[in-house]
Amino acid sequence: MAEAAPGGGGGQLRPLEPASNAVLSVRGGVGGISFQLEELDSGARELDVLARDLAAVELAIYRIWESLGSYQRDDPASGAGALTAVWEGQRSVAAVREELERLAGGVRACQLEYSAAETANRLMMQLHLDTPWLAGRQLFDLGLSGDGRPNRATTEAIASSDPVVAGVFLAALLGVRLSPMDAAVKMALAAGMTGSSVPTLVRMLLDRVLPELRPRPVRVLKEGSLEIALDASPAGLLARAGEVEDAGPGQIEIIQTTAGGRDTFIVIIPGTQPGNTGGPNPFDEAGIGESLGYGSEYTAAAIRAALRQAGAEAGDQVVAVGYSQGGIHAMNLSQDKAFLAEYRLKYVLTAGSPVGAITPEPGVSSLHLEHRQDWVPGSEGLPNPDTKDRVTVTLNGMVRTPPGEDSGLGPGHRLTNYEAGARAVSASPDASLAASTAALAGVVGAGGTARATRFQLVRAPKPAAPAVLPPLPALGRTILPVGGGVSGGGNAGFGGGFSGGGRRGAGLPPVK
């Protein structure tokens, strides 16, 4: 919590309350507790440096005083007076040095108290006891929302405490329903997996339980370009994600805009597009496995190729925007060494995305929107870190699925609700949000005419299933002609049960 003096300068320090309200809860950024604790630590270290410098000055003055000792018997107006003046100067420097040391100690004590308070507050939030008005809404989130789903905080707490349950949540994102009692899940996740990271759990799921959903290479096809009127605000960029998703399966959009005489390329990545899981669309449920477990290896490579085709050159600035699964892909770019070696990723905007396990490289700013009723951002069991360049906004307004519409993953996960939240973010006076949105505007500008290029991403087909050969005959047995019996108690009718040269499954349609 920041501190300020009454009237803006001088006087008693007092806590400065964050601008968060019942609609938005803000964590991280320049107003976040972690950054403020870093500032306190930095201030204490600066005071220590000044105190050490003054100690050196103090010692130098003392030595001067010592060297003047032989003059103390001279005329009082010169010898004794000079000794007295130097001594008083040395004591004055010592007094300032002692005060700086006292201030440094006070700042460190303040930092420890704030850290302890933040730890207690985090525990209260995990126990859902953070604020009275939110305590009563837990029942709404869990029972009265119409879909029976847990909220983000509940999902995060459960997934972080039990790897089997975490595996069930992750399987649900992959479009597979698994019970916590499922033997395959227990085999893959339960034994010794407590505390395992989300990528590890996902890879175990795909290796041992759902191998048909393992990632495969992705190629990119350019569809076409057109001029658009770009709304470069967070809400406008999320609206583009909805338009890209509606345009068809597997599509992304790259928008080229100019700000400050420099080109910036905005990558728009849609959310999960259900249907034919494991098929050609890399944004189906299987795409969640690639994003959470494999760092978006193939999708990130396809995005790099699309940027080249859109006219981006090495060293150009890039902003990545993604909703749901698209947000995971977008955030993965912030730690992809190959991507960062080619382009300067400046900003990432996500909505409804579980990205707490992703640590961006220094210099990448990010803004993450989560809804309190949305279980998806909590499915990995990790909160987003609270850092200076990373801001997480929780939308607290209660929402319902409109009558007659499919609830999907729940009303809190609807993109339209996140767009409304993004508009509230832009209007908020919160220091962290103001700094984050200003950072975005500094990269993409205020909007206006821009060039948008659509690309089709296509996942490679599944490899053909290996042919299964019949068992070899036992040694010492005589095989009769095809259609006859086998002597010595062998497999009667060998050759009569298979077609196509005896390969099991020959003649069946190929596996897609």
- Same domain (yes/no): 159, 307: no
Q: Domain total for the chain?
A: 4
Residue 7 lies in a domain: no
What's the pLDDT at 485? 36
Percent of the chain at pLDDT exceeding 70:
69
- What global pTM score does this model have? 0.71
Pairing of strands 24-28, 390-395: antiparallel
Residues 21-32 have pLDDT tens digits of 458 889 888 776
Q: Are 44 and 108 in contact (CB under 8 A)?
A: yes
Contacts of 44 (CB under 8 A, 6+ apart): 104, 107, 108, 111
pLDDT in tens, 59-112: 887 787 777 776 666 665 666 777 778 778 878 878 888 877 777 777 677 767
Instruction: Look at residue 363 and tell me whether its pLDDT is greater than 90.
Output: yes
**Final residue before a domain boundary, out of 190, 212, 234:** 212
Burial of 486 (0-12, 13-18, 19+ CB in 10 A): middle
Give the tens place of pLDDT for each residue, 382-397.
889 888 899 999 999 8
* Residue 479 confidence (pLDDT): 37
* pLDDT at residue 358 tops 70: yes
Q: How confident is the model at residue 254 (pLDDT cuts 50, 70, 90)?
A: very high
Q: What angle do CA 388, 173, 168 make, to 5 degrees?
A: 105
Within a domain: 16:
no
User: In this predicted structure, what is the pLDDT of residue 16?
Assistant: 43
Q: Are strands 251-259 and 448-459 parallel, antiparallel or unpaired?
A: antiparallel
Q: Answer yes or no: do 173 and 46 share one domain.
A: no
CA distances from 413 to 153, 282, 352, 377 (A): 14, 20, 6, 9
Weakest-pLDDT range from 122-136, 245-259, 432-446: 122-136
Kindly report the average pLDDT of the chain as a whole number.
77
Residue 117 pLDDT class (50, 70, 90 cuts): low
Please report, for the domain that includes residue 84, its CATH number: 1.10.287
With 0-12 CB in 10 A as exposed, 13-18 as middle and 19+ as buried, what is 73?
Answer: exposed
At 61 the pLDDT is 79
Band the pLDDT of 480: cuts 50, 70, 90: very low
The per-residue pLDDT for 67 is: 77
Range of the domain at 44: 32-126
Tell me, yes or no, whether 273 and 157 share the same domain: no
Least confident piece of the model among 119-133, 210-224, 480-494: 480-494
- In 180-339, the DSSP E strands lie at 218-230, 251-259, 262-269, 317-323
Please give the average per-residue pLDDT across 437-464, as a whole number: 93
For position 348, which CATH number holds?
3.40.50
User: What is the C-alpha to C-alpha distance for residues 188 and 365, in angstroms, rounded to an integer?
Assistant: 36
User: Do 121 and 158 belong to one domain?
Assistant: no
**Is the CA virtual torsion 481, 486, 492, 498 positive or negative?**
negative
Per-residue pLDDT for 483 more than 70? no
**CA dist list (Å): 165 to 181, 205, 303, 379, 381:** 10, 12, 33, 10, 10
Highest mean pLDDT among 77-86, 168-177, 204-213, 260-269: 260-269
What was the pLDDT predicted at 226?
94
Confidence (pLDDT) at 276 = 84
Q: Are strands 14-16 and 2-4 parallel, antiparallel or unpaired?
A: antiparallel
The answer on 331 and 391 residing in a single domain is yes
Domain for residue 131, yes or no?
no
Q: Is 68 found in the same domain as 85?
A: yes
Query: Is the pLDDT confidence value at 407 over 50?
Result: yes
Whole-angstrom CA distances from 508 to 66, 276, 327, 464, 469 are: 102, 20, 40, 12, 15
Domain boundary among 159, 182, 212: 212
Structure token digits, residue 268: 């728009």
Instruction: Kindly write down the DSSP assignment for every residue of 103-162, as one continuous string.
Output: HHHHHHHHHHHHHHHHHHHHHHHHTT-S-HHHHTHHHIIIIISSS----HHHHHHHHHH-
Same domain assignment for residues 175 and 252: no
| Encoded amino acid at 341, one letter | A
My answer on whether 92 and 186 are in the same domain is no
Is the per-residue pLDDT at 300 higher than 90?
A: yes
451 shares its domain with 496 = no
Q: Is there a single domain that holds both residue 176 and residue 202? A: yes
For residue 112, being part of any structural domain is answered with yes
Please tell me the predicted confidence (pLDDT) of residue 73.
Answer: 63
> Would you state the structure tokens that stand for residue 489, as one six-digit string?
């108690």
**Pair (382, 473) in one structural domain:** no
The answer to whether residue 7 scores a pLDDT higher than 90 is no
Q: In a 3-state reduction of DSSP, which class is residue 268? A: strand
pLDDT, position 472: 52
What span, in angstroms and rounded, lies between the C-alpha atoms of 376 and 384? 13
pLDDT band at 5; cut points 50, 70, 90: very low
Output the pLDDT for position 259: 83
If you ran DSSP here, which 8-state letter would residue 486 be given?
B
268 and 328, same structural domain?
Answer: yes
